[in-house]
């Protein structure tokens, strides 16, 4: 159960490895969740639901910064899910997260509270990826569409397209909707969901967000420290990934290790860090998640906020096993980010 007594812990847990979160938009989502929780949202295992229950994934689509500037009307969750229900001719019986990073952890809670349905304990990535089709749902054969978008201006947009075209079509639509929208997507039965989701991640964030709890609780498949050091250089990358439809430009960050071997660790990034080289040797790579954690406040440092002199701990969050299959690496590994390695 996520209620007024556990919301703060859940919110704190959702930020432990979250990249791309903005303080203003996160606070908007947190205040929104607190205002609609009521008696709380039940958290259930997918396998505990009737097998035919329609489950809908809910996610922020677009800019987190825009969410903090173009405030929600408050009816986006109801509008977007009801639009998908009308298209499918069925009522949704549960909500599930696309991923559980910061705002994307809170928006499914808000939606479940407003609809009076449970939140499934799990998500579709086990970490964060930049594209809406980079999910374990996709790997399990579930299509992202039909997909509905509800914007803060009152608009609704429906999208039904083939695999690989969602980003190309949806991104310009979201810009027209005000820079962000709430997406309802990946409709599937509870029976299918129990097979394709990364289970137990909601419960893990609830536990990890309790003051004094180890950060590792938020990493279901393990986490390790690659190095501790000081950022020595931030600049453009060697040019990989220029043809990818990702919402950022490639960049490169060099960390001088201040403990242990004193290595130079180069972090290659495109929207997120996707490759770590220690003295030229591969030390970590996508689909595992590579995070810079500020040693000053323990907050994840986004690629575009890194600067020389900042002390960081570079941590590697192990991805779910399905991401380490041939299909998983093709969707979320280095080549998916345009890195020919």
pLDDT in tens, 12-61: 999 999 987 778 899 999 999 999 999 999 999 999 999 999 999 999 99
Residue 162 pLDDT class (50, 70, 90 cuts)? confident
pLDDT in tens, 279-302: 999 999 999 999 999 999 899 998
State the average pLDDT over residues 258-274: 91
Q: pLDDT value at position 24?
A: 87
Distance CA 134, CA 136 (A): 7
Q: In this model, does residue 63 exceed pLDDT 90?
A: no
pLDDT at res. 243: 43
- Buried b / exposed e across 222-249, counting CB within 10 Å, b at 16+? ebeebbbbebeebeebeebbeebebebe
Specify the pLDDT at position 337. Answer: 86
Q: What is the pLDDT of residue 19?
A: 80
pLDDT at residue number 219: 94
Report the C-alpha gap between 67 and 334 in whole angstroms. Answer: 29
Helical ranges in the chain per DSSP H = 7-14, 23-36, 64-69, 76-88, 103-115, 136-139, 166-177, 190-196, 201-208, 326-332
Looking at residues 261-275, what average pLDDT do you find? 92
Does residue 307 have a pLDDT over 50? Answer: yes
Which of 44-53, 60-69, 180-189, 248-257 has the weakest average pLDDT? 248-257
Please give the Cα distance from 146 to 185 (Å, whole number): 6
- pLDDT band for position 276 (cuts 50, 70, 90): very high
Tell whether the model's pLDDT for residue 341 goes beyond 80.
no
Give DSSP secondary structure letters for 23-60.
HHHHHHHHHHHHHH-TT-B-EE-GGGS-TT-EEEEEEE
pTM: 0.92
> What is the C-alpha separation between 80 and 56, in angstroms, rounded?
10
- pLDDT tens, residue by residue, 198-238: 999 999 999 999 999 999 999 999 999 999 999 999 986 44
What is the average pLDDT across 61-76?
A: 92
**CA atoms of 182 and 79, how far apart (whole Å):** 9
């Amino acid at each position: 159960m996520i209620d007024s007594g556990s919301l703060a812990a859940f919110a704190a847990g959702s930020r432990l490895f979250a990249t791309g979160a903005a303080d203003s938009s996160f606070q908007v989502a947190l205040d929104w969740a607190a205002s609609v929780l009521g008696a709380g949202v039940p958290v259930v295992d997918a396998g505990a639901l009737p097998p035919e229950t329609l489950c809908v994934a809910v996610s922020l689509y677009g800019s987190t910064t825009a969410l903090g500037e173009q405030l929600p009307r408050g009816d986006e969750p109801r509008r977007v899910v009801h639009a998908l229900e009308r298209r499918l001719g069925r009522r949704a019986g549960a909500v599930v997260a696309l991923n559980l990073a910061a705002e994307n952890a809170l928006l499914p809670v808000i939606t479940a509270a407003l609809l009076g349905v449970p939140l499934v304990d799990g998500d579709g990535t086990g970490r964060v990826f930049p594209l809406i089709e980079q999910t374990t749902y996709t790997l399990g054969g579930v299509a992202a569409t039909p997909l509905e978008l509800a914007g803060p201006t009152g608009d609704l947009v429906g999208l039904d397209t083939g695999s690989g075209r969602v980003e190309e079509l949806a991104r310009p639509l979201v810009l027209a909707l005000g820079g962000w929208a709430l997406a309802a997507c990946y409709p599937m039965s509870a029976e299918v969901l129990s097979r394709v989701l990364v289970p137990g991640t909601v419960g893990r964030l609830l536990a990890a967000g309790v003051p004094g709890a180890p950060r590792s609780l938020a990493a279901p498949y393990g986490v390790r420290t690659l190095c501790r050091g000081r950022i020595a250089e931030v600049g453009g990358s060697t040019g990989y990934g220029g043809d990818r439809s990702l919402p950022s430009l490639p960049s490169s960050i060099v960390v001088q290790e201040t403990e242990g071997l004193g290595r130079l660790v180069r972090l290659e990034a495109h929207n997120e860090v996707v490759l770590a080289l220690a003295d030229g040797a591969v030390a970590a790579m996508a689909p595992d998640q590579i995070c810079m954690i500020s040693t000053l406040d323990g907050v994840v440092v986004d690629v575009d906020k890194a600067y020389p002199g900042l002390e960081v701990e570079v941590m590697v969050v192990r991805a779910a096993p399905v991401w380490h299959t041939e299909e998983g690496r093709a969707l979320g590994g280095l080549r998916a980010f345009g890195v020919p390695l």
